[in-house]
Amino acid sequence: MDNLEQNIRQLVEEVIKSMNLPTANVKKDSKLGVYSNLNDAIEASDIAFKEFTKVTLETRKKVIANIRKTTMEYREILSKMAWEETGLGRWEDKIVKNELGINKTPGVEDIVPETFTDDHGLTLVERAPYGVIGSITPSTNSTITVISNAIGMIAAGNAVVFNPHPSAKKVSAAIISLLNNAIIEAGGPVNLVTCIDEPTIESAKALMAHKKIAIMVVTGGPAVVKTAMNSGKKVIGAGPGNPPVVVDETANIAKAAKDIVDGASFDNNVICICEKEVIVVESVADKLKEEMKKNGAYELTGDQIKQITALVISDPGRPGHEGAANKNYVGKNADFIAKGIGLTVPASTRLLICEVDKDHPLVWTEQLMPVMPIVRVKDVDTAIDLAVACEHGFRHTAMMHSLNIEKLSKMAKIMNCSIFIKNGPSYAGLGFGGAGFASFTIASPTGEGVTRARTFTRERRCTLVDYLRII
């Protein structure tokens, strides 16, 4: 263990032991909103929701502003806590991820009313909260999913009960207490966000079944989305992906290579939108690999590819079967993974790349780690066909590097994904170096796409017959 890691471990242990740090400076209760019983958490949020309906929109805006301010202050310690507790990703990248979500998740301004007028008067359509939302969050984006969902759901007027991933329960509880302190300070009710301190799959199911939970918002792998969709409740389901990136012969290869390494290695590839396999036209394949190596990639060859596959894949994916990665290597650094096959690579290595054929399990399995298969194909149409197939119909995210407008349009259309990024790294699709807002709940199975405050509202119409037009 290096010095830095040791220091962080010590710091985080102190934080967790005291559970005071997130609230130390705001002089408030460090366990606000954190319950040991799920029913108590839901009842408390139900009361908070009713109180929140009486709060003005101006106060709601102040609550969101204070959540942003407070979580920004604690973004670094929260990133280190998440990294320490889950063992996933890179804490420096998590700081960037937290900043993105804190600053760019839409707030109250996203709730826009609509009006219709005609000879019969005026109709107003407004966006109302659902009530108490149940939110299940993943281990991979543990801090920012709670923060970003809370911003969007509260901006829409809801209360939220979180069932965080069990392997991120401590940092999630710290965030919940931090959020409650920020909410109260800005004039909102206590317990607008709650969680339980020992979340489990059973508690997630109990949340889905509870009478007082109006809708479920589920962010995670295939099992939890499927379970929620069978719960009988309305579900906003954000499931897995396996985002392909296609590079054709017209692309700016040096830029494409840098973008792919940057996107695929960000937080060690744990984000669902990160590039998971490269499909490149053969005439530019060698150049692409060379450029990737200049940007922090290390190429594995021959037996190394067989060994790494055996190491990191526990259930090989293939057409019609999404497979699964070996959890011991999910979100780890490239040099740690290389060590697993007895290979020493520079600690600065961001991504392990390996050229494989199109049927290789690395292509068809969502690895969530910095191991990137590269498939060489004869032309761009073949590349697009393979991209569609290995995305498994998740319709989640895909990327293309090309200057051919016809092929860019073809792939964007045929992939039919929630996010499609042209000529940029994957995170540009979340508003980092790309236009638009951020969210870490991308609802592909249920169709809401990149969720935002208005996603968490229900429409209500009020019609006033014959009067109140002004022309």
Look up residue 351 and give its two tokens.
Answer: 């991504």
Q: How far is the CB of 271 from ligand NAD (least distance, A)?
A: 7
Cα–Cα distance, 79 to 94 (Å, whole number): 5
Q: Which of 79, 141, 194, 426 binds ligand NAD (CB under 6 A)?
A: 141
Q: How far is the CB of 101 from ligand NAD (least distance, A)?
A: 12
Nearer to ligand NAD, 154 or 450 (CB): 450
Judged by CB under 6 A, does residue 204 bind ligand NAD?
A: yes
Nearer to ligand NAD, 143 or 441 (CB): 441
Contact 372, 278 (CB under 8 A): yes
Judged by CB under 6 A, does residue 166 bind ligand NAD?
A: yes
Nearer to ligand NAD, 137 or 194 (CB): 137
Contact 280, 257 (CB under 8 A): no
Judged by CB under 6 A, does residue 149 bind ligand NAD?
A: no
Find the part of the chain contacting ligand NAD (CB under 6 A) among 112-120, 216-224, 256-264, 455-463. 216-224
Judged by CB under 6 A, does residue 139 bind ligand NAD?
A: yes
Size of the site for ligand NAD (CB under 6 A): 27
Q: How far is the CB of 13 from ligand NAD (least distance, A)?
A: 23
Judged by CB under 6 A, does residue 201 bind ligand NAD?
A: yes
Judged by CB under 6 A, does residue 24 bind ligand NAD?
A: no
Judged by CB under 6 A, does residue 189 bind ligand NAD?
A: no
Judged by CB under 6 A, does residue 238 bind ligand NAD?
A: yes
Closest CA to 79 of 168, 163, 200, 6: 168
Judged by CB under 6 A, does residue 140 bind ligand NAD?
A: yes
Lay out the site mask for ligand NAD across 333-372 (x = CB under 6 A, - = otherwise). ---------------------------------x------
Q: How far is the CB of 57 from ligand NAD (least distance, A)?
A: 28
Q: Which of 31, 61, 205, 287 binds ligand NAD (CB under 6 A)?
A: 205
Nearer to ligand NAD, 66 or 219 (CB): 219
Nearer to ligand NAD, 33 or 189 (CB): 33
Closest CA to 168 of 407, 331, 337: 331
Stretch 304-333 residues interacting with ligand NAD (CB under 6 A): none
Judged by CB under 6 A, does residue 272 bind ligand NAD?
A: yes
Residues that bind ligand NAD (CB under 6 A): 136-141, 163, 165-166, 201, 204-205, 219-221, 223-224, 227, 238-241, 272, 366, 440-442
